[in-house]
Amino acid sequence: MPIKGLYAITPDLSQTDELLDKVKKALQGGVTLLQYRNKLANNKLLREQAQALLALCRQYHVPMIINDHLDLAIEIDADGVHLGQDDLTHDDVNEELARYDKILGISCYNSVELALHAQKIGADYLAFGAFFPSVTKPNAVTASINLVKQTKKHVTIPIVGIGGIRLSNAAEIIQAGCAAVAVSDDLFNAPDIQDRARQFQQLFGNAA
């Protein structure tokens, strides 16, 4: 499955029905990849929401990635997992991933060195950011747009841009060479989620 287009990251919602309603609208608008991320949920709610979202994503033939929770991704047979650098320090991560045909995404923040390492250990994509001030992660490290152009000279896997990305600034990231943009706030808090997703996807159609 190519990593390209609008990569939606779910908001922290405790109400599963509300979450499913928002995600359904985003999928109808053309989201190409969904990451389930809920930093406020306990393990029971994580499993409940992940299973419900996976069933919904299957209806729309959109891959679902789980943030951080490798065991949960394997347990429910999600399509992949997204890990931060801290998650890669565990000795069993690479061994576990080698046993399953899953998408692996790795956060590389603003480091070319980390990007090269991600490619070396078999990541399917790497994520850079935050490129702009982020509502979801206000204290995130910052990355420059030039970093994308620089890194593309050294890696062959897709680059996902993340952090404060909105409809008003996404084109700049895409033109710099990001295959996908990860969006949460500007998508799921839009007045019309389906239309906002469609507008993001149109940016990729117009990209060079």
Catalytic pick among 137, 152, 166, 198: 137
Neighbouring-strand partners of residue 57? none
107 counts as catalytic: yes
DSSP letter, residue 142:
P
Contact indicator for 60, 75 with CB cutoff of 8 Å: no
Of 44, 53, 52, the residue nearest 9 (C-alpha): 53
Of 31, 83, 18, the residue nearest 57 (C-alpha): 31
Residue 106's SS3 state is strand
Cα(120)–Cα(126) distance, rounded to whole angstroms? Answer: 11
Exposed, middle or buried, 29 (CB in 10 Å: 0-12/13-18/19+)? buried
Distances (CA, A) of 17 to 23, 171, 173: 10, 32, 32
102 counts as catalytic: no
Catalytic pick among 107, 111, 134, 184: 107
Catalytic pick among 25, 37, 102, 196: 37
Cα(41)–Cα(62) distance, rounded to whole angstroms? Answer: 23
Cα(4)–Cα(1) distance, rounded to whole angstroms? Answer: 9
| Catalytic residue set | 37, 107, 137
